[in-house]
A and B are shown apart, each in its own frame.
Chain A
Amino acid sequence: MRKNFRILCLVSLMALVLVGCGSKAQQKREITVVGSTALQPMVEMAAEEYQKDNHDVSITVQGGGSGTGLSQVQAGAVSIGNSDIFADQQPGIKGKDLVDHKVCVMGLAPVTNKEAGITKLTMEQLRGIFSGKYTNWKQVGGKNLAIVLINRAQGSGTRAAFESAVMGNEKMAKAQEQESNGTVSKMVAHTPGAISYLSFSYISKDVLGIAIDGVKPTAGNVQTGEWKIWSYEHMYTYGKPNEQTKKLLGYMKSDYVQKNLVKALGYVSISEMKVKKDSNGKVVPVKEGERNGSD
């Protein structure tokens, strides 16, 4: 019993000491980035490279979803909140307090299971499929196979981008929902007749990217604005960023990151976009000399 008691005391003492020392142990400047899981790998990678040259900062990158990112940056709990959607599109976020830093563009493509026998659709057909008007692939030129809709979770940034670019005023049919790109791509690959939409980097030989109105889902077509379904990846700060954070954001937009990391991850570089979108989904060409993404 005495031994137990001693161990108990020791543990609680240790805990106390550690909590006490916790604050002292952090001499480095900390930057915490939280939010969108889609953006996480890129920021993680960039942060790792960045820390190699900047030993005085320690950067923590976490996922958690766009909603978490925005609400935590608004609450001042983190330095940067990553989001797939504009802050003023997210209910509960006061967009004007947050400063938007667009770091890249994510292209989205409808994808189908191989057995559907489809490689291209018109925008009208795509809309019809997701609103529930078409329920069999033969109605849109494919095989005689029931369409299995797989949607993204309510409130997800990917779904919001797809909805605003494709659905117009029509409502999406109630269907299966999934949260992440990885799970959706596995489901589409394994379910005959399945259709969903994915970010470009997940298109593979098992999940076919579908051409819309004759336009193929490629980075080049996103840049020219011919491919309509895309969204920005945002990094939000609360008010003006501090010195360290600003440097990191600058690094994210630097040529090195934009030319290497962004491309390697299947995103579209923000500096090469020839069109821009506002939070209402309106697309206009970028004027000569105007730099995209810098607000």
Chain B
Amino acid sequence: MNPKKTNTLALLMIRIIAVIVVVILAFLIGRILIQGLPHISWKFLTTSSKAFTSGGGIGIQLFNSFYLLILTLIISFPISLGAGIFLAEYAPKNALTNVIRMAIEILSSLPSVVVGLFGFLLFVVQFKLGFSILSGAIALTFFNLPLLTRNIEDSLNSVPKLQREAGLALGLSKWHTVIKVILPEAIPGIVTGIVLCAGRIFGEAAALIYTAGQSATSVDFTKWNPFDASSPLNLFRPAETLAVHIWKINSEGIMPDAEQISAGSSAVLIIAVLIFNLSARFLGQKLYQHLTAAKQG
């Protein structure tokens, strides 16, 4: 076979694979949306859930999911940013760096239930944080760190060396170059990392069952002082997220409309992930343009 034919054939294969993947995804997402969308209503999105009668909503769970996501990112982003910069810019090429990299990769392979139990024993019981949104956020941080760190490192590495040399040649410090030149250039990649992590946080259940808990205490959406016990922002209240809610009603739910609530919640979850991803990408693009003077397109 001549190279030209091989070329056509191989490129065709790649396209076919891409189509297959899209079909699989379309099937999954379509299925979830078709089963779930009919059950979504304004009331479903805003009312609180019911233990065993029908007609419960997911208002608090939805809020909890977003709140937990933001909290987790606030904790994990600065740490992974620092670590990512270290690995991409400062780390010497030696065995120690390899060990560090390996440790981080293995951290990501821990089953979520182990992280959940570790969090439970350490934060919930030992540090007396209780079943709380804070314990949940810290446990989720453990998951996020490896993925986010690696992602930031990769995005930094993909910025051409030339930019670093240009920065240094201008007399900027290495740190200054990284923060002001390299990092803005790497923003699109980093946003991808955040979006992927966000997806995992939205979808995670096993680690949260033992840390953030599986009950949604009623909150008062008029009180925004985080120290008020019934405030939605209170860090010490137990917070069942949407994914945990889905898990719970699927495993022990006995309300008559459990199946509908589960389908509706799954659809809401997908839509929430979609909205978060799109807005993160939009904001990332704006920030990128603002910081790098890059043209749209």
Instruction: Assess whether B94 is interfacial by the CB under 8 Å rule.
Output: no
Q: Which residues of B contact A64 (CB under 8 A)?
A: 209-210
When chains A and B are docked, how far (Å) is the Cα of A27 from the Cα of B253? 32
Chain A residues numbered 180-217 whose CB sits less than 8 Å from any CB in chain B: 180-183, 186, 201-202
Decide if B253 touches A264 in the complex (CB within 8 Å).
Answer: no
Minimum distance in angstroms from B19 CB to a CB of chain A: 30
Q: 1/0 per residue B175-215: CB within 8 Å of A? A: 11001100000000000000000000000000001100111
Assembled-state Cα–Cα distance A44/B209 (Å): 16
Given contacts A1-B175, A18-B226, contact A182 B249 (CB under 8 A): yes
| Chain B stretch 206-252: residues in CB contact (< 8 A) with chain A | 209-210, 213-215, 217-218, 226-229, 234-236, 238, 248-252
Contact with B along A34-50 (1 / 0, CB 8 A): 00011011101100100
Structural contact, A22 and B236, CB atoms closer than 8 A = yes
The one of B129, B215, B226 that contacts A62, using a Cβ cutoff of 8 Å: B215
Q: How distant is B141 from chain A, measured CB to nearest CB, in Å?
A: 12
Report B-chain residues with C-beta under 8 Å of the C-beta of A18.
Answer: 134, 226, 235
* B229 near A32: Cβ-Cβ < 8 Å: no
Chain B residue nearest to A12 in the complex (CB): B78
B27 at the interface (CB under 8 A from A): no
Q: Does A241 contact B (CB under 8 A)?
A: no
Complexed CA–CA distance, A7 and B82 (Å) = 13
Residue pair B52, A265 in contact (C-beta under 8 Å)? yes
Name B179's closest neighbour in chain A (CB-CB).
A1
A58 at the interface (CB under 8 A from B): yes
Consensus secondary structure, chain B interface: loop
A-B contacts, CB under 8 A, total? 94
Q: Which residues 1-46 in A have Cβ within 8 Å of B in the complex?
A: 1, 4, 7-8, 11, 18, 21-22, 24-28, 32, 37-38, 40-42, 44-45
Cβ-based interface call for B34 (8 A): no
Q: Is A63's beta carbon under 8 Å from chain B?
A: yes
Report whether B52 and A183 are in contact in the complex, using a CB–CB cutoff of 8 Å: no
Task: State the CA gap A183–B247 with chains docked (Å).
Answer: 10
Q: How far is the CB of A32 from chain B (nearest CB, A)?
A: 7
- Chain A positions within 8 Å of B130 at CB level: 32, 60
Q: Does B51 sit at the interface, judged by CB under 8 A?
A: yes
Interfacial chain B residues near A45, Cβ < 8 Å: 51-52
User: A residues within 8 A CB of B228?
Assistant: 25
Residue from the list B78, B229, B235 in contact with A7, Cβ < 8 A: B78
List of 4 A-B pairs having minimum Cβ-Cβ separation, nearest first: A180-B251, A45-B51, A1-B179, A182-B251
Question: B: which residues have CB within 8 A of A?
Answer: 51-53, 74-75, 78, 81, 125, 129-131, 134, 175-176, 179-180, 209-210, 213-215, 217-218, 226-229, 234-236, 238, 248-254, 258
